[in-house]
Amino acid sequence: MILPFYQQNTDPKGKASVEGTVGKVSTDILARLRNKPFHSVYEANEHVQEQLEAFNKKPFQKRRGSRFEVFFSEEKPYLQPLPRTPYIYGEWKIAKVQYHYHISVDKMLYSVPYQFIGQKVKVRMTHHLIEIFSGQSRICSHKRLHGHPGQYSTIEDHMPEKHRQVSDWNGDRFISWSKKIGESTQTVIERLLSSYKIEQQAYNGCRSILKLADKYSSQELEVACTKALSIVYAPRYKNIKLILQSKQSEIEQVPLKDDQTHAFLRGSHYFGKDDDK
């Protein structure tokens, strides 16, 4: 129920008049309906609407006109149209634009114009929309992603014409790096690169996999990739890291025939055949 507010003065001097009008509504409308039974909210609202219309058209006692006439002659011309879209609650966060020109929001990735790589931006998040701001200016927006984590929302205009202009990383460099570790590692990297519609989206995963050789060793990483490929066609970082952490990549390097340099084999302890157990 909406009552027209016919007082133009919005300072505290008009407070008494507003409160007085509320009292009159209670008396003239609610009191009239207090003993009338209603069987639904819809039915009750219909009767309230009828009484409200009669209340607003009732002539003033000490001035000419009615509340209905004052509203249309004095107030309505000042009303502004409602916003096209309703107000939507949003949350804010600060995010850093990564080297592949995306930011991470709840484990989903959204592209930003590559000129902002390395900068911090403000992000407004609603259930349906992600808005990204630099200072007070909105630089882009995305439909919010839902479902399994790791999804990308990428706008092609955000991509640089030549990625080398903003980053030294590219698919050829990751493949070249993986070749130095071994065949299985190279296969993992190649399949990871080809599994994304936009190659740059795979760079973070490629680098994370190859950096495992620093924590463990190139030898262990190669065996872990071999094991992962026997289980999953295109292994991800988590698959390979889990193998390394579970000691499935423990190996022994043994000499082979003259036409081979070396091979990676699991030790007897992997099969639970240690002599001291």
Helices 183-194, 203-210: crossing angle, 10 deg rounding: 160
pLDDT tens digits along 79-100: 999 888 888 899 999 999 998 8
pLDDT of the residue at 111:
92
Residue 254 has pLDDT above 50, yes or no: no
pLDDT of the residue at 14:
62
Q: Rounded distance, CA 233 to CA 188, Å?
A: 8
Q: What share of the chain is helix, strand, coil (3-state, %, to 5)?
A: 45, 15, 40
pLDDT of the residue at 162:
58
Domain boundary among 164, 188, 222: 164
Q: Rounded distance, CA 229 to CA 226, Å?
A: 5
Residues 240 and 259 in one domain: yes
Residues 16, 22, 28: CA angle, nearest 5 degrees: 130
Range with the poorest average pLDDT among 59-63, 132-136, 266-270: 266-270
Mean pLDDT (whole number) for 179-199: 88
Residues 184 and 231 in one domain: yes
Domain boundary among 49, 78, 107: 78
The answer to whether residue 30 is domain-embedded is yes
The answer to whether residue 84 is domain-embedded is no
Residue 249 has pLDDT above 60, yes or no: no
Q: Is 212 in contact with 240 (CB distance < 8 Å)?
A: yes
Beta strand 252-254 with 263-265 is antiparallel
Residue 170 has pLDDT above 80, yes or no: no
pTM for this structure?
A: 0.42
pLDDT category, 159, cuts 50, 70, 90?
confident
pLDDT of the residue at 169:
67
Its domain, for residue 31, covers 12-78
Residues 64 and 132 in one domain: no
Mean pLDDT (whole number) for 229-251: 82
Residues 95 and 148 in one domain: yes
Q: Rounded distance, CA 191 to CA 168, Å?
A: 21
The answer to whether residue 3 is domain-embedded is no
Q: What DSSP string describes 31-59? A: HHHTT---SSHHHHHHHHHHHHHHHHHSB
DSSP run (H or E) holding 142: strand 137-143
Residues 73 and 99 in one domain: no
pLDDT category, 260, cuts 50, 70, 90?
very low
Residues 173 and 160 in one domain: no
Q: What DSSP string describes 207-252? A: HHHHTHHHHS-HHHHHHHHHHHHTT-SS--HHHHHHHHHTTTT--E
Residue 244 has pLDDT above 80, yes or no: yes
pLDDT of the residue at 75:
86
Mean pLDDT (whole number) for 164-180: 74
pLDDT of the residue at 143:
96
Residues 264 and 187 in one domain: yes
pLDDT tens digits along 104-130: 999 999 999 999 999 999 999 999 999
